[in-house]
Amino acid sequence: MIIKIISIGSQPQKEINQLIESYTQKISAYSKVEWINLQLKLKDKNIKIKKELESQNILSKIDSNAFIVSLDEKGQTFSSVELSQQVEKIMLNHSNINFIIGGADGLDQGILEKSNLVMSLSHLTLPHQLVKVFLIEQIYRSYSIINNLPYHRE
């Protein structure tokens, strides 16, 4: 399984990046994880145009045969166990998953429509950089549940 995480925004701060790298390393026993961080310096203040430009950049990075999971505040929520079940189902039919994290204004509707799954990590508004930490931790937790590791407790 290859996991690609495509995000819009600045590089994480050093401390946050250390957490991201720690979970990425733990997952490497099960899957390759590739991070793609797109920094778009758009001068246009029009949110619609901005989201369309971000969408074009995201679409150019999506793998053609990947299962696409977009993160959106209006997406479906899962418990950690439910998410692990989703990941396990995806693994049976796909060799790669692309997770998409939009910019501050969210994802363009075209990306959401192209997605196989639109998921929300929380009903709370989360800082962009922490979304990366929460996502990679939940991916690791999913692998630990699938492989019966003691990381997840109920």
What's the pLDDT tens digit per position in 40-61?
A: 776 667 888 888 889 999 999 9
Structural domains in the chain, CATH included, are: 2-38+46-145 (3.40.1280.10)
In this structure, are residues 13 and 129 in contact, taking their beta carbons and an 8 Å threshold? Answer: yes
Instruction: Say which residues have a Cβ less than 8 Å from residue 100's Cβ, sequence separation at least 6.
Output: 6, 7, 58, 62, 68, 69, 70, 71, 107, 111, 115
Taking the whole predicted model, whether its pTM rises above 0.75 is answered as yes
Structure tokens at 36: 């793609």
Q: What value does the mean pLDDT of the chain take?
A: 93
pLDDT the model gives residue 44? 65
